[in-house]
């Protein structure tokens, strides 16, 4: 049987860890992507207050719902960031002379096409490697690249960020792309852990392009997460269906409601599930349960908002030097380019 050659972007000492079952999509050998999630769900649900890590939101249905959210009139983030990328892709790619574009949490990579187009226009070749826990996003990206960018080499890494970026060969000049203000989903301990690890994994000729949603009017922010179609509520509460599937638990969507608000002290949107009545949630596979009290909240996701200058200064402490700052006419969203300090 013919085996697919291992991607050139993987560091030699990492290559043995990866395998492929489908053309162009790679997973870590011997690991199940849902193994760690189960432990993570239980540990944070027993925390005070109870909370969840954001990546559990992206099962197949969650990924589909997020795509629909991106089309909503209230969700200005996607179209604003897309307009910045469309206008600035040529400048971004010119400023970052790379062979490879690695996208973290790529989703369906719809906005990234502006960068891929420019990479081919300016260099006539390139590698695109999206990293995501969502397989449906990777499959959609693979299809789009095969159709629209056949000259690009494609390798999708079905993995969590850190497993993905620590495997990338440092000698290949790479632009790491992290869009959608997904960085806002990190809490105050995830944030430094992520950037320390990413910066250490980056080579001396690497760059980072970071999309960050900015601090702005509270009404505008709260509308974006309380859309009139209720899609954000479905997206957030769907995490409990995903957890039921993973752990055999009995979360009941009829006994909870969605609530989102802007916490002005922490400058973050907080998205909660709140129990409408007291009830017991059981996890039969691990023989445990907890009493979810009436009105008790589970923090499902945060979306932090940023001051771009402060973010630039902060990332200097991770050896990421700010090179360019792109924004829109309303100054609602920022796309920041950094160079790894060699
Ligand atoms: C907010 S969405 C953004 C998607 C896309 N980049 C955009 O801008 O529209 C976050 C994406 O990151 C992925 N993701 C979340 N946590 C992850 C993790 N720890 N490792 C890898 N992917 C993750 C999700 O599956 C999802 O596709």
How far away, in angstroms, is 107 Cα from ligand 1 center? 6
pLDDT of residue 269: 98
How far away, in angstroms, is 134 Cα from ligand 1 center? 8
Q: For ligand 1, atom 7, which residue shows the shortest CA distance?
A: 180
- 86 belongs to a structural domain: yes
Residues 175, 234 within the same domain? no
Q: What is the pLDDT along the chain (342 residues), one digit of tens a residue?
A: 446 666 788 998 888 889 887 789 999 876 665 566 778 899 999 999 999 999 999 999 999 999 999 999 999 999 999 999 999 999 999 999 999 999 999 999 999 999 999 999 999 999 999 999 999 999 999 999 999 999 999 999 999 999 999 999 999 999 999 999 999 999 999 999 999 999 999 999 999 999 999 999 999 999 999 999 999 999 999 999 999 999 999 999 999 999 999 999 999 999 999 999 999 999 998 889 999 999 999 999 999 999 999 999 999 999 999 999 999 999 999 999 999 997
- 171 belongs to a structural domain: yes
How far away, in angstroms, is 109 Cα from ligand 1 center? 10
Beta-strand pair 174-178/333-340 = unpaired
Say how many C-beta atoms besides its own lie within 10 A of residue 219's C-beta: 9
Element (H, E) at 90: helix 76-95
Residues 331, 201 within the same domain? yes
How far away, in angstroms, is 322 Cα from ligand 1 center? 23
Q: For ligand 1, atom 13, which residue shows the shortest CA distance?
A: 105
Q: What is the largest CA-CA distance in the chain?
A: 60
Domain of 232 in residue numbering reads as 36-65+218-304
**Rounded to an integer, what distance in angstroms lies between the CA atom of residue 136 and that of residue 215?**
31
The CATH number linked to 168 is 3.40.50.150
**Rounded to an integer, what distance in angstroms lies between the CA atom of residue 222 and that of residue 95?**
35
Residues 191, 318 within the same domain? yes
**Rounded to an integer, what distance in angstroms lies between the CA atom of residue 288 and that of residue 294?**
20
Q: For ligand 1, atom 27, which residue shows the shortest CA distance?
A: 107
- 28 belongs to a structural domain: no
**Rounded to an integer, what distance in angstroms lies between the CA atom of residue 215 and that of residue 308?**
9
Which protein residues touch ligand 1 with a CB less than 6 Å away? 54-55, 58, 66, 70, 78, 105-107, 111, 131-134, 137, 160-161, 179-180, 182
How far away, in angstroms, is 108 Cα from ligand 1 center? 9
Task: Give the residue, out of 53, 83, 107, with the most ligand 1 atoms within 8 A of its beta carbon, to mutate for a pocket test.
Answer: 107
- 134 belongs to a structural domain: yes
Q: For ligand 1, atom 3, which residue shows the shortest CA distance?
A: 180
Q: For ligand 1, atom 1, which residue shows the shortest CA distance?
A: 182
pLDDT of residue 38: 78
How far away, in angstroms, is 161 Cα from ligand 1 center? 9
335's torsion region: left (phi>0), alpha (psi -120 to 50) or beta? beta
Q: Is the peptide bond before 49 cis (omega within 30 degrees of 0)?
A: yes
Number of domains in the chain: 2
Residues 119, 228 within the same domain? no
- 180 belongs to a structural domain: yes
Residues 184, 224 within the same domain? no
How far away, in angstroms, is 104 Cα from ligand 1 center? 7
Residues 253, 316 within the same domain? no
Task: Estimate the crossing angle of helix 135-148 against helix 113-123, to 10 degrees.
Answer: 40
Tokens representing 333 are: 């969203």
pLDDT of residue 28: 86
Residues 298, 223 within the same domain? yes
Residues 231, 259 within the same domain? yes
Residues 156, 298 within the same domain? no
- 182 belongs to a structural domain: yes
Residues 184, 200 within the same domain? yes
CA dihedral 284, 286, 290, 295 (to 10 degrees): -80
Residues 85, 189 within the same domain? yes
**Cβ atoms of 241 and 61 closer than 8 Å:** yes
pLDDT of residue 39: 81
- 22 belongs to a structural domain: no
- 2 belongs to a structural domain: no
Residues 91, 205 within the same domain? yes
pLDDT of residue 1: 45
How far away, in angstroms, is 65 Cα from ligand 1 center? 13
**Rounded to an integer, what distance in angstroms lies between the CA atom of residue 109 and that of residue 102?**
11
């Amino acid at each position: 049987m013919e085996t697919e050659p291992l991607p050139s972007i993987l560091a030699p000492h990492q290559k043995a860890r990866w395998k492929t079952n489908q053309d162009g999509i790679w997973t870590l050998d011997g690991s199940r992507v849902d193994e760690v999630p189960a432990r993570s769900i239980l540990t944070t649900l027993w925390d005070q207050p109870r909370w969840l890590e954001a990546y559990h939101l992206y099962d197949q249905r969650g990924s589909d719902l997020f795509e629909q959210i991106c089309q909503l009139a209230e969700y200005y983030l996607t179209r604003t960031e897309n307009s910045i990328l469309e206008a600035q892709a040529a400048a971004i790619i010119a400023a970052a002379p790379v062979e490879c574009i690695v996208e973290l949490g790529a989703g369906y990579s719809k906005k990234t096409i502006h960068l891929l187009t420019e990479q081919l226009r300016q260099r006539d070749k390139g590698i695109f490697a999206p990293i995501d826990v969502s397989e449906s996003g990777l499959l959609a990206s693979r299809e789009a690249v095969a159709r629209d960018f056949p000259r690009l080499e494609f390798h999708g890494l079905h993995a969590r960020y850190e497993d993905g970026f620590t495997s990338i060969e440092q000698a290949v000049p790479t632009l790491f792309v992290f869009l959608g203000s997904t960085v806002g989903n990190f809490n105050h301990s995830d944030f430094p852990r992520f950037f320390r690890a990413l910066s250490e994994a980056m080579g001396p000729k690497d760059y980072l392009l970071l999309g960050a949603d900015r601090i702005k009017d509270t009404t505008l922010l709260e509308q974006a997460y309380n859309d009139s179609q209720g899609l954000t509520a479905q997206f957030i509460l769907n995490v409990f269906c995903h957890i039921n599937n993973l752990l055999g638990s009995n979360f009941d969507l009829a006994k909870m409601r969605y609530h989102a608000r802007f916490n002005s002290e922490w400058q973050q949107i907080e998205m909660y599930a709140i129990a409408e009545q007291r009830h017991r949630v059981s996890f039969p596979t691990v023989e445990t349960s907890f009493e979810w009290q009436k009105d008790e909240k589970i923090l499902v996701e945060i979306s932090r908002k940023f001051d771009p200058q402060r973010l630039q200064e902060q990332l200097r402490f991770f050896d990421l030097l700010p090179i360019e700052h792109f924004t829109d006419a309303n100054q609602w969203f920022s796309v920041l380019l950094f160079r790894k300090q060699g």
